[in-house]
Amino acid sequence: MRLISWNVQWGRSAEGVVDLARTVREARQFGDFDVLCMQEVTRGFGALPGHPGDDQFAELEALLPGYTVIDAIGADLPPLAPVSNAALGAESGKKRRQFGNAIATRLPVGLAIRHALPWPVDPRAPSMQRVALEAVLQSDIGALRVLVTHLEFYSEQQRLAQVDALRRLQQEAAAHAARPAPAENDSGPFAATARPASAIVCGDFNSPFDSAAYHRMLEPIPDSPRFVDAWATLHPGKTPPPSAGVYDKEQWSSGEMTCDFVFVTEDLRGRLRRCDIDPHSHASDHQPLIVEFA
């Protein structure tokens, strides 16, 4: 199984050009992926730099035939007042502005769950509502949960609360795996609660390698397998290369940072065969991570 995790910055390249089709083309160059986990996908946010399309989730469905595209919205804001700038599109000012994550997969999808992450007050810094998107997938390495997330950038207090929430979700899923409740019937919404304990949690953690949030993610979880860093597992003793600010020096004027990670539950450690941070792509201000499992 091959998974790619990428903060695609609404398809905006390091040079400032928005082209979501290019993003997908470059993802395909890394191999025939089974799962593509994306952060910073938008709907109704045409006023962002480069003017992304009106509905990037629909664009992804068109660009990836044969894949199921699942969306999860973090920030969900009212429309801007109508504007006359034609570059923003005819729908500008009509649709809500939505900013979040997406999973595109060709694997069978069971449950899809959208988890709003904690947003504790921190008046010192800008922030937005964050979300974790969970999909239960049937893969060649068995049933597992894939979660993609994007933690707060400006507030460490909020990032730490969000890491704690991800760990609680893992504990909850392990309990569902151990003691699932039956479905009420086959046609209603009260489906069986079973969720695999095995999980992949990936995305832009906005937390440097070796930071407090990074280490908290790796702490033991009661009654559940703990998380391990896929890259560190396959490159023991080494420091990962930067995953943000490699080519976009304007947005990352303070320097490069390694803040994009793929964490897997410890039971998947032995199945890891590859985890690389691509150093070449200019298609975003972040570099994609490519992970393969045997």
The first and second tokens of residue 179, run together, are 């003691």
Give the C-alpha separation, 204 to 216, whole Å: 15
In a domain, 187, yes or no: no
In a domain, 188, yes or no: no
Q: Tell me which residue range forms the domain holding 122.
A: 2-182+193-293
Rounded to an integer, the average pLDDT of 211-221 is 98
Give pLDDT, residue 94.
Answer: 77
Residue 87 in this model has a pLDDT that exceeds 60: no
Give pLDDT, residue 278.
Answer: 98
In a domain, 98, yes or no: yes
Give residue-wise pLDDT tens across range 226-253. 999 999 999 999 999 999 999 999 999 9
Band (193; pLDDT cuts 50, 70, 90): confident
Residue 203 in this model has a pLDDT that exceeds 70: yes
Give residue-wise pLDDT tens across range 91-119. 455 789 999 999 999 999 999 999 999 99
pTM of the model: 0.95
- The H-assigned helical ranges of 30-181 are 56-63, 156-178
Element at 43 (helix H, strand E): strand 35-43
Give pLDDT, residue 276.
Answer: 98
Residue 82 in this model has a pLDDT that exceeds 90: no
In a domain, 289, yes or no: yes
In a domain, 280, yes or no: yes
Rounded to an integer, the average pLDDT of 166-194 is 94
- Contact by Cβ (8 Å): 97, 75: yes
Give pLDDT, residue 233.
Answer: 98
In a domain, 23, yes or no: yes
Q: Tell me the CATH number at 255.
A: 3.60.10.10
In a domain, 111, yes or no: yes
Residue 260 in this model has a pLDDT that exceeds 70: yes
Measured between alpha carbons, how far apart are the two ends of the chain, in Å?
A: 7
Give the C-alpha separation, 180 to 160, whole Å: 29
In a domain, 281, yes or no: yes
For 167, phi and psi rounded to 5 degrees?
-70, -40
The total number of structural domains in the chain stands at 1
Give pLDDT, residue 86.
Answer: 56
